Amino acid sequence: MPQPLPQEAVASAALLRLEEVSWRAPDGRLVLEEVSLSLAPGELAWLRGPSGGGKSSLLRLINRLAEPSGGIITLLGKPLAAWEPPQLRRRVGLLAQSPVMLPGSVEHNLSLAFGFKAAQGQAAPDRAALRGAMDRLGLQGVELGAEAQGLSLGQRQRLALARLLLLSPQVLLLDEPVSALDPESKELVEATAVAQAGEGRAVLMVSHQPPPQASAMRRLILEQGHLREEGA
């Protein structure tokens, strides 16, 4: 089960900060222009905008799967470029829009990440912990021995989220995590995001859909390369 963050991390004023970050696509097109954003521990931000507007690119920059063309991104006050990749991956977890499952069982796919450098020092969860992580995301009907690549997209999305939460990063980047879910599963994932923020994590959630009105969160819009608070 994911553990709450240490108190010193929760007390930090800004866990993640982007200052005037720009990014150009390989074809030279300016996708993001001087984007600034600060996320504190315990903060949940819902990011939406038109398709192809740079939302996924922004998440990739924060996870350092791409490098900004300008500006600076810091984690815990330290530039991303100064973090060793395993250290960064341990603290910043990215849920891709179309998660990849490797050949093998659900259990194998959930446990695989604990063999990577990013998970050094973390004990691999036992079967009861894996089962609990799945059940909390509505995957009670999926057996640990089931073939992971045979799951539906919605099941793979939730399984990948369970895997990410087991690693317990400080920052959660969720790229369209509810795009293939039925209403009940969608509410469950949204509630999970809220709960993770409540435990002191910074959560940035990308979606084409408007955020649930009942949830207290920041509402962000990315349009034509510019980021703004909804209503601003």
pLDDT (tens digit per residue) in 134-173: 999 999 999 999 999 999 999 999 999 999 999 999 999 9
Q: What is the reported pLDDT for 29?
A: 94
- Domain of 13 in residue numbering reads as 7-100+168-229
For the residues 200-228, what does the mean pLDDT come to? 88
Tens of pLDDT, residue by residue over 5-21, are 444 444 447 899 999 99
Q: Is residue 62 part of a domain?
A: yes
What's the number of domains the chain is made of? Answer: 1
In a domain, 126, yes or no: no
| Cα–Cα separations (whole angstroms), residue 102 to 28, 81, 109, 111, 174 | 34, 29, 7, 12, 20
Domain presence at residue 131: no
C-alpha to C-alpha distance for 68 and 49, rounded to whole angstroms = 20
- pLDDT (average), residues 212-226: 85
Q: What is the CA radius of gyration of the chain?
A: 17
What is this structure's pTM?
Answer: 0.89
Does the pLDDT at position 84 exceed 60?
Answer: yes
- pLDDT number for residue 116: 63
84 SS3 class: coil
CA dihedral sign of residues 186, 188, 191, 196: negative
pLDDT of 9 reads: 42
Q: Is residue 106 part of a domain?
A: no
**Residue 139 domain-assigned (yes or no):** no
pLDDT digits 0-9 by tens, 29-71: 999 999 999 999 999 999 999 988 999 999 999 999 999 999 9
**CATH number assigned to the domain comprising residue 172:** 3.40.50.300
Model confidence at 97: pLDDT above 70: yes
Amino acid at 101: M
Whether residue 123 lies inside any domain: the answer is no
**Structural domain contains residue 225:** yes
Q: What is the pLDDT of residue 217?
A: 86
Domain contains 152: no
Is residue 175 over pLDDT 50? Answer: yes
Contacts of 147 (CB under 8 A, 6+ apart): 103, 104, 105, 106
What is the pLDDT at residue 11? 40
